[in-house]
C-alpha cells in the first residue's frame, strides 16, 4: 500500500486508560488507523475492540516505557509495519501516586518520572521522525501531553539523587517534555522540515486513574482534556509549531523552557542516557 492511499495513521502512547483511551475512542473513524500503545495486552485489546465497534481500525503495540530497549524495539516495530504515520501523541506517563518521597528507578537505573514521562517519548519521537517527515501534504504532527505542574531541571543533579520529592520529579519531567518540544520545533524550522510539534496541559486533575492514585479529588473531566488535545491532533491549533497550551489556550511555560542553553543541555543529556541504555547513539 502506498502512503498516499493508506489511511491517516495516529499513534497514541498510553492508550489503554484515561486520556489516551478516551482520545482513541474519539478518533475512531473508517479513514483512520490507530496504533494503540500500552503495557497490558488485555486492556489494549479492549480498546481495540471498542475502536473497531465504532467503525475504526486499530493495531496494538506493547512496550514498557520504563525500559528504553523496549521503547527502541517499539519504534522498530512501527517503522517496519506502518508505511505512514501522520500523528504521534506522547501521552503515556506516571504520576505522583504511591509514597511521594520514595525515589523509584526505571529498568535503566534512571529516575522513573524522567524516564517514562519524558525520555521514552523523546526516544520514540526521534526514532519515528523520519516516518513523520514522509507524511503526505506536510501535515504531520507531534503532540506531547505535558502538565501545568512544572519545575526547573537541576542539570547538576538531573536524576534527583539528593533531596528527592515525587512531586518535584513529576514536575521536572513534564517541563522536560516542554523544553524538548520547543527544541525540536526550532530544529525542524531551521531545516524547513514539515512536522509541527506542540505540548499541552490538557486539563487540571482529570478524573483518571493517575489522578485518583495521587489522592487528589478530580477537578476536570477526561472529556475536557480530550477536547483540548484534539485541537492539536486534528484541529487548526495543531498547525502552529513550537507552542505550549493550557487547555485550549496558548500559555507561558516555565522560564527554563525558553532558555536556549537549557534546551541544548537537555538534548545532550538525553542523547547520552539513551546511548548508554540502548547501546548506540540516538
pLDDT band at 2 (very low <50, low <70, confident <90, very high): very low
Structure pTM? 0.92
Question: What is the end-to-end Cα distance of the chain in Å, rounded?
Answer: 29
Report yes or no on 28 lying in a domain.
yes
1: in domain: no
Range of the domain at 155: 8-278
Say how many domains are in the chain: 1
The one catalytic residue among 118, 122, 164, 170: 170
Query: Percent of the chain, pLDDT > 70?
Result: 89
In this prediction, residue 3 carries a pLDDT of: 41
Say whether 144 sits in a helix, a strand or coil: strand
Q: Domain for residue 265, yes or no? A: yes
How, if at all, do strands 195-201 and 140-145 pair?
parallel
> Known catalytic residue: 170?
yes
Q: What is the CATH number of the domain that holds 16?
A: 3.40.50.720
| pLDDT tens figures, 69-92 | 999 999 999 999 999 999 999 999
Q: Has residue 271 been placed in a domain? A: yes
* Model confidence pLDDT, tens digit, residues 224-258: 889 999 999 998 877 789 999 999 999 999 999 99
Q: What is the pLDDT of residues 104-124, one digit of tens each?
A: 999 999 999 999 999 999 999
Rg of the Cα atoms in the chain: 17
Do the beta carbons of residue 229 and residue 142 sit within 8 Å? no
Measured CA to CA, the distance from residue 204 to residue 79 in angstroms comes to 34
Residue 29 corresponds to which cell in the numbers above? 473513524
Amino acid at each position: 500500500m502506498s502512503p498516499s492511499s493508506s489511511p491517516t495513521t495516529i499513534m497514541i502512547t498510553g492508550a489503554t486508560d484515561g486520556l489516551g483511551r478516551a482520545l482513541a475512542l474519539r478518533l475512531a473513524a473508517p479513514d483512520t488507523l490507530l496504533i494503540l500503545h500500552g503495557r497490558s495486552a488485555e486492556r489494549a485489546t479492549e480498546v481495540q475492540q471498542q475502536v473497531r465497534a465504532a467503525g475504526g481500525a486499530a493495531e496494538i503495540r506493547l512496550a514498557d516505557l520504563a525500559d528504553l530497549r523496549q521503547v527502541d524495539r517499539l519504534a522498530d516495530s512501527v517503522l517496519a509495519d506502518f508505511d505512514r504515520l501522520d500523528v504521534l501523541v506522547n501521552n503515556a506517563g506516571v504520576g505522583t501516586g504511591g509514597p511521594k518521597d520514595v525515589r523509584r528507578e526505571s529498568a535503566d537505573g534512571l529516575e522513573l518520572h524522567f524516564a517514562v514521562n519524558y525520555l521514552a517519548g523523546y526516544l520514540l519521537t526521534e526514532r519515528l521522525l523520519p516516518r513523520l517527515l514522509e507524511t503526505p501534504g506536510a501535515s504531520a504532527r507531534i503532540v506531547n501531553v505535558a502538565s501545568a505542574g512544572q519545575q526547573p531541571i537541576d542539570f547538576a543533579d538531573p536524576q534527583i539523587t539528593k533531596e528527592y520529592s515525587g512531586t518535584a520529579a513529576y514536575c521536572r519531567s513534564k517541563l522536560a517534555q516542554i523544553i524538548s518540544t520547543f527544541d525540536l520545533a526550532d530544529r525542524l524550522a531551521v531545516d524547513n522540515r514539515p512536522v509541527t510539534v506542540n505540548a499541552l496541559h490538557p486539563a487540571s486533575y482529570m478524573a483518571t486513574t493517575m489522578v485518583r492514585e495521587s489522592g487528589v479529588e478530580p477537578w476536570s473531566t477526561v472529556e475536557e482534556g480530550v477536547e483540548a488535545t484534539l485541537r492539536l491532533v486534528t484541529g487548526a491549533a495543531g498547525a502552529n509549531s513550537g507552542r505550549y497550551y493550557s487547555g485550549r489556550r496558548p500559555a507561558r511555560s516555565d522560564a527554563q523552557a525558553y532558555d536556549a542553553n537549557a534546551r541544548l543541555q537537555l538534548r545532550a543529556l538525553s542523547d547520552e542516557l539513551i546511548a548508554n541504555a540502548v547501546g548506540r547513539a540516538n
